[in-house]
Amino acid sequence: MSREDLLTMADTASSEPIQLVAPDGTRHRHAAFDAMLADVNDDAVADLYVDMVAVRRIDTEATALQRQGELALWPPLLGQEAAQVGSARALREDDFVFTSYRENGVAYCRGVDLDDLLTVWRGNASSGWDPYGINMATPQIIIGAQTLHATGYAMGVKFDGGTQASVAYFGDGAITQGDVNEALAFAASYQAPVVFFCQNNQWAISEPVGLQTRVPIAQRADGFGIEHLRIDGNDVLATMAATRMALERARAGDGPTFIEAVTYRMGPHTTADDPTRYRDAAELEEWKEKDPITRIEAYLHTRGMAVDGFREAAQHRADDVAEKLRHGITTMADPEWQAVFENVYAEDHSWLERQREQYGRYQDLFSSDAEGKA
């Protein structure tokens, strides 16, 4: 990537987010970003639309399952579909992904089994899936901790002479965490092939992003000497182009890139949250006008695509995904109680054995024999 391109990237941090598709479907031109999408024709854009519809349906179905008592908790991503689908579809299979708990759209694109997507939220497993099966770590609950994991992985790739990249997804609420700042420092020092993908959804639970930073989040990368991009996170084409650009830099040995995807969480932080207690209803209505799915549908309409046809196809895909999701979670067998003690330590020790024995005696209180004696 040329010096001019790098300067162009840095300039974007202090300006309006880069946008390729406006909310009304109008296509804007951007020379560097358009070059990254040279192979993305109208059919490929329609595929991204179908992905986003399916991801939104997963979100809706999981929320319903939580309300019906099938899940303990669910972190919705409503409104962030473009940021997740566009970036995830830019990755290669051998790249490695590290996320927080809200990147269910990324997990869907990486091929996570639908049952595994919800297992941990039902409390049936300590984690979700085999990370090495799809090159994606299981969700990190500790805010920002995965940025260190992604940086360490990228440093290993560089030391081994590989061409893969790692990607760390996190939200605006993580940017003031020590882990994130340590990860940025290490990534810059070692020029690690890692992409930091920050979804600025405007709210860290009930705290607005303005309380955390007085400058655009992307500008923080300046202090670490990391190149950065600030994009419209509700624009799936801008998101894909930016991620491809960052990955290209990583593979070329040009070091880390920080992407701020400006988006909006239209739902609650989790199903245990009530955003009406801290968020103005007018703000939500304003962002609904920037919906990532309706805008790409409007764009495809301007391209003369048969919108009704691919809208119906997308709905069928979403219905199928929702049916499999619900069937999987409602027929899932409960784990044996002993499973909670597995994979905690490499080897058993006396304290663990004592806890297992005590918990076993507690479980016996609920056995049929105990009931008979009572």
Tens digits of per-residue pLDDT, 201-243?
999 999 999 998 989 999 999 999 999 999 999 999 999 999 9
State how far Cα 371 lies from the chain centre.
Answer: 47
Q: CB neighbours (10 Å) of residue 341?
A: 15
CA atoms of 47 and 363, how far apart (whole Å): 50
Composition of the chain by helix, strand, coil, percent to 5: 55, 10, 35
- Tokens 């894909």 — which residue? 240
Closest CA to 255 of 310, 189, 170: 189
pTM confidence score: 0.92
Question: How many angstroms separate the CA atoms of 103 and 114, rounded?
Answer: 14
- What does pLDDT average to over the chain? 93
Task: Report the SS3 class of residue 90.
Answer: coil
* Residue 219 token pair: 């500008």
Question: Could you please report the per-residue DSSP string of 193-247?
Answer: SEEEEEEE-SEETTEEGGGT-SS-GGGGGGGGT-EEEEEETT-HHHHHHHHHHHH
**Is 316 in the active site?**
no
Indicate which residue of 265, 295, 299, 326 is catalytic. 265
- Do the Cβ atoms of 212 and 204 come closer than 8 Å? yes
Tens-digit pLDDT profile for residues 84-122: 999 999 999 999 999 999 999 999 999 999 989 999 999
Q: Six-digit token pair at 194?
A: 């890692």
Could you confirm whether 265 is annotated as catalytic? yes
Diameter of the chain by CA atoms?
81
Query: Active site residue: 67, 278, 301, 316, which one?
Result: 278
- 178-184 long-range contacts, CB within 8 A, separation 24+: 178/144, 179/142, 179/143, 179/144, 179/145, 179/147, 179/148, 180/144, 180/147, 182/148, 183/144, 183/147, 183/148, 183/150, 183/151, 184/147, 184/220, 184/221, 184/224, 184/226, 184/256, 184/258
- Banded model confidence at residue 10, pLDDT cuts 50, 70, 90: very low
* Tokens 């500790």 sit on residue: 142
Asked whether the CA dihedral 91, 31, 220, 293 is positive or negative, the reply is: negative
In percent, the amount of the chain with pLDDT more than 70 equals 94
Catalytic-role residue among 230, 269, 295, 326: 269
